[in-house]
Amino acid sequence: MAALAVLIPTLLLAGCSGSSGSSSDAARVSAAQVTLTPGDGAAEVPAQGGVFAQVRAGRLTAVHLKDADGHELAGAVTPDGSKWSPTAKLLPETRYTLDALAVDKDGLQAAKHASFTTFVPKNTFIGFYNAVDRSTVGVGFIVEIRFNRSIADRAAVQKAITVTAKPAVPVAAHWFGDQRVDFRPEKYWAPGTQVTLALNLKHVEGAPGVYGTQSKTIGFTVGRSQISTADTDADTLTVVRGGQTLRTLYISAGGPGHSTYDGIMVISEQDQVTRMDSHTVGLGSEYDIPAVPHAQRLTDSGTFVHGVYWRSPSVFGRENTSHGCIGLYDAAGGYSGSTPAGWFFDHSMIGDVVRVVGSSGDAVAPDNGMSGWNMSWQDWQAGSAQ
């Protein structure tokens, strides 16, 4: 508040003073009457409209609104100097002090002090993130945050989330609707990169009257580079690590009417054994397999690389028979590491890339799992709120 640059002086208001001034000086009381809203000791003060200082028979010369850490909020005074209001919103669940100084027409000063606390939000939001602290992931890992409420002020929420890398590379955000934001670099992470996700959402207003509650930091490491290519025409899965081919496996991909998605997908989940029920992916009663071994999720919509023990070994490498998944020959139980599915499971990690190529599959959507690599860097950056 440039117009109110005068600092509040030390006020000698104590009753037992050793002042040597004359009795006539002590009798001179400022005509300025300062009023603070809210009053001292108030609670549940709103973020806007509930705080101001005003004066009668004088003009304000300094007003300071500070939180408990000493951070000062900006404000503005009316042209006649009679009223001051903050120009920024107050944070919830915060203690503030408000000090105001005014002078009357004779230059005599009057001061007022108040301390108060702000409201406790009734509506809050949190972000559910896919990064695991101290984990190691593949080079295709995309940081994904899903919110439990719709976010109206995406810019404010995005500003409160940072994803940083060491060695440093630019990392950009992309919003998929109003409840999900993903973060990735332009190209796959370099092996050995240390990545830190910081959620500083506490007190951030994501929508009118809806505030964040999280202050959380998560760190993870990018491991070796493994990029596998599934060719649904050749019925092969070629596993390449660090530029060297480890192995080529025979697969059985999506059959007629259920082609496997084409494009870049990333392993987001690994289950030694899981149940697969066609009802959960909108395919009615097509199948219900209670113990699918070595299942590794590629999309939110239900695409997996998984083991298959209920078909003849002769199918793999020759015929596409699945409902969209990539099948590898396996034994029941998910215990064997010597089967093709077991070997691939043991040699994979969350964040590894599986690229599917073929002649019949539809392109996988960028928001279907960690499939944002199918979007150009320019288009990805265009989805940022900042």
Residue 221's closest CA among 298, 150, 141, 160?
141
Parallel/antiparallel/unpaired status of strands 171-175 and 59-67: unpaired
Within 60-194, residue ranges assigned H as helices are 154-159
Q: How many CB atoms lie within 10 A of CB 331?
A: 15
Distances (CA, A) of 172 to 88, 140, 153, 176, 253: 28, 15, 18, 13, 33
Q: Do 308 and 345 form a contact (C-beta atoms < 8 A)?
A: no
Residues 6+ apart with CB under 8 A from 323: 254, 255, 258, 278, 281, 283, 286, 287
Task: Dig out the tokens for 328 from the structure.
Answer: 């590898």
Dihedral angle computed from the Cα positions of residues 3, 9, 15 and 20, in that order, rounded to the nearest 10 degrees: -120
**Could you give phi then psi for residue 278, rounded to 5 degrees?**
-60, -20
Catalytic residues, by residue number, are 306, 325
Rg (CA), the chain: 32
CA angle 57, 63, 66 (to 5 degrees): 150
Whole-number Å distance between alpha carbons of 281 and 92 = 42
End-to-end CA distance of the chain: 28
Task: Dig out the tokens for 25 from the structure.
Answer: 């000086």
Q: The tokens 């999309």 sit on which residue? A: 299
Whole-number Å distance between alpha carbons of 145 and 199 = 10
| Burial tier of 118 (Cβ tally within 10 Å: 0-12, 13-18, 19+) | buried
- Looking at residue 255, its amino acid is G
